[in-house]
Structure 1
Amino acid sequence: MVKSTLSSKAYLKIFFHAAKHPHTPVNGVLLGSLSSNVVSIVDAVPLLHHWTSLSPMMEIGLDLATQHAASLGLQLVGYYQASERLDDTALAPVGERVASKIKEGFADAIAFVIDGETIGSGAPALLPYESTSPTSSSWRPSPPDSAPYSLDDPTIPTRAVSLVRDSRLHEKFGDFDDHLEDVTIDWLRNLDSVPADLGV
Structure 2
Amino acid sequence: MCEVEIGTRVYAKMCLHAARYPHCTVSGALVGRRGNGCVTLCDCVPINHLYLPLALSLEVALTQIDSWCAPQGLVIAGYYQANAGLKDNSPGCAAQRTASLISEYQEDAVLIMLDNEHLSLNPGVPPLTVLHQNSSKDWVPKEKTLVMWGHWEETQRITRQLLHAKAYQRLVDFDTHLDDIRADWTNQELNLEIARLSAAANGRT
Fold conserved between structures, TM > 0.5: yes
Q: 1:180 aligns with which of 158, 178, 181?
A: 178
Deviations 1:65-106 (A, max 9, x none): 111111211111111000011111111211111111111111
Mapped to 2, the partners of 1:55 and 1:106 lie a distance apart of: 18
Aligned structure 1 segments of 4 or more residues deviating by more than 4 angstroms: none
Mapped to 2, the partners of 1:35 and 1:98 lie a distance apart of: 24
2:188 corresponds to which letter in structure 1? Answer: L
Give the count of matched residue pairs.
193
Displacement of 1:58 in angstroms is: 1.5
User: Higher helix proportion, which one?
Assistant: 2
Conserved in 2, the CA contact under 8 Å of 1:52 and 1:58? Answer: no
Q: Specify the alignment match of 1:132 in structure 2.
A: 134
2:80 corresponds to which letter in structure 1? Answer: Y
Deviations 1:134-178 (A, max 9, x none): x62x312335xx3331222112124313321x2111110010001
Q: 2:169 aligns with which of 163, 171, 175?
A: 171
| Stretches of structure 2 lacking an aligned partner (at least 5 in a row) | 200-205
Mapped to 2, the partners of 1:107 and 1:2 lie a distance apart of: 10
- Any residues of structure 2 matched to 1:102-113 within 5 Å, and which? 102-113=102-113
Mapped to 2, the partners of 1:183 and 1:90 lie a distance apart of: 32
Q: Specify the alignment match of 1:160 in structure 2.
A: 159
Conserved in 2, the CA contact under 8 Å of 1:30 and 1:80? Answer: yes
| Stretches of structure 1 lacking an aligned partner (at least 5 in a row) | none
What percentage of aligned pairs have identical amino acids?
28
CA RMSD of aligned residues (A): 1.6
Displacement of 1:59 in angstroms is: 1.6
Provide the TM-score with structure 2 as the length reference.
0.88
Mapped to 2, the partners of 1:125 and 1:94 lie a distance apart of: 21
Q: Specify the alignment match of 1:78 in structure 2.
A: 78
Conserved in 1, the CA contact under 8 Å of 2:177 and 2:183? Answer: yes
